[in-house]
Amino acid sequence: MAGKRANGEGSIFPYRNGFAAYVWVTKPDGKRARKYAYGKTRDEVHDKWIRLHQQAKAGPIATNVPTLASYMTYWLAEIVEPNLAPLTYATYETLSRLYIVPGLGGKRLDARLAVRDVQTWLNKVAKTCQCCAQGKDERRPSKKRKCCAVGRCCQDLPSARTVKGIRAVLRSALAQAVVEELLAKNVAALVKLPPIRNRKGKSWNSEQARAFLESSRDGNDYLYAAYVLVLVLGLRKGEVLGLAWEHIEWDGWNKPCTAHGEVFCEHCRDNHDIGLTVDKQLQRVRGKLLHRATKTEESDAPLPLPAICVTALRLHHQQQKTAQEKAGEAWHDTGMIFTTRFGLPVEPRNFNRSYDSRIARADVPKITVHDARRTCGSLLVDLDVHPRVAMAILRHADFSITMEIYSQVSSKATREALRKLGQSLDQ
């Protein structure tokens, strides 16, 4: 005959169409409470009862299983926002608010959230007009309603990439729930989605890149130096706009040389290792212009500046001094390289507008700023630069992005690759 249960060991008993059990546990707030487990058979509940005992011995246990909606609120506020980039938080919060919470928010974070639930819901999201679901047309003034609110569904379906992003956010949140032992498995990781065909990026060839830069230089474009850094060093838009003069690593970059009395002296520049540290980026996130650290440590690697970059920065330094003199007391001394006529940071959207306008004047194929960064990689390949050198120049965090290959690259090799690229454009 089995011995009598000890105090706090709990009990198994018939419950509705099955059985239930409870164990006395210590909650995270230090108080004692009953934690229940349910199942269709006594053996099933007994196994859960044993696991509850083991968990109770290991540490505090939450007795109330939160809904997905409440957990997403906690996860965004306590896990994502303090630890990830502001733009990442904004993206996750938007996908959670518009899709995950309305669709699955009422589900509890336990066995009631099943793979089938998530799979069926995601399939439905991909086929649902989001103008109808989110009331986009309904929020317009009555006179401006033109589609779903007046019975003419616009079929605003989410893209395959958006659906993939929704699953990624849910999967990341549930992964944290598994770590916190609120879930036994991550059901979102088991959901299937159709493959996405990636957009094939465009790029310029050497002649088109040279034509674009010559048009900018000849037109005395205030952003000419920025375009040079994008094409020659492969900088991202946010990285270019986040640069400050202090990021140029040469004590005498802004002082006349003793031999020739010139700033950025053409005769002496090759005798100095002039480097550029890229560790800041400029982003506008939900109405705020943020000057923050770059995404990865690989992005922070200092880059040697080839001749074409030094020449462009020298010209821009003179242009900025002229703008400062014209602005007078209205000038804001932010220390940034690329500014407005009053010294303020350049808005990313305004950079895009200026860039597109320059493309039209140069009469070259229209590509995005990120494609211009891709052009740098293409030009490096055209110049037979080793993939490891290209990886160092483009500052990819993952080598598979540039191409899987072996060998290491030295700073000397990186400098030589940039010199070759600068010479191909500075003719």
Q: What is the pLDDT of residue 246?
A: 85
For residue 289, list its beta bridge partners: 284
CATH architecture designation of domain 206-425: Orthogonal Bundle (1.10)
User: Which CATH number among 3.40.50, 1.20.1070, 1.10.150, 3.90.198 corresponds to the domain 68-190?
Assistant: 1.10.150
Measured distance CA(395)–CA(239) in Å, rounded: 12
pLDDT digits (tens, 9 = 90+) for 29-63: 678 888 888 888 988 888 888 888 887 887 777 66
Q: How would you label 294-318 residue by residue, b for 16+ Cβ within 10 Å and e otherwise?
A: bbeeebebebbbbbbbbbbbbbbbe
pLDDT for the residue numbered 291 = 76
Question: Low-confidence residues of the chain, pLDDT below 70?
Answer: 1-10, 28-29, 62-63, 110-111, 199, 249-273, 295-301, 378-390, 394-427
Would you say 397 and 298 are in contact if contact means Cβ atoms under 8 Å apart? yes
> What own/partner pairs with CB < 8 Å and gap ≥ 24 does 31-40 have?
33/63, 34/10, 34/63, 35/61, 35/63
The rounded distance, in Å, linking the Cα atoms of 211 and 44 is 73
φ/ψ of 280, rounded to 5, equals: -130, 155
Distance CA 17, CA 14 (A): 8
Contact in structure between 337 and 244 (CB atoms under 8 Å): yes
Structure tokens at 233: 């060093």
Q: What is the pLDDT of residue 378?
A: 67
Tell me, what's the pLDDT at 25? 84
Contact between residue 240 and residue 338 where contact means Cβ atoms under 8 Å apart: yes
Position 32 scores a pLDDT of 87
Instruction: Report the pLDDT value the prediction gives residue 101, as an integer from 0 to 100.
Output: 93
Model pLDDT, residue 414: 60
**Alpha carbon distance 170, 165 (integer Å):** 9
Taking residue 39's Cβ as centre, other Cβ atoms within 10 Å add up to 19
Region of 17 (left: φ > 0; alpha: ψ -120 to 50; beta: rest) is alpha
Q: With 0.75 as the threshold, say if the pTM is over it.
A: no
**Coil, helix or strand at residue 11:** strand
Length of the chain: 427
Report the pLDDT value the prediction gives residue 292, as an integer from 0 to 100.
Answer: 77
Q: Is 325 exposed, middle or buried (0-12, 13-18, 19+ CB in 10 A)?
A: exposed
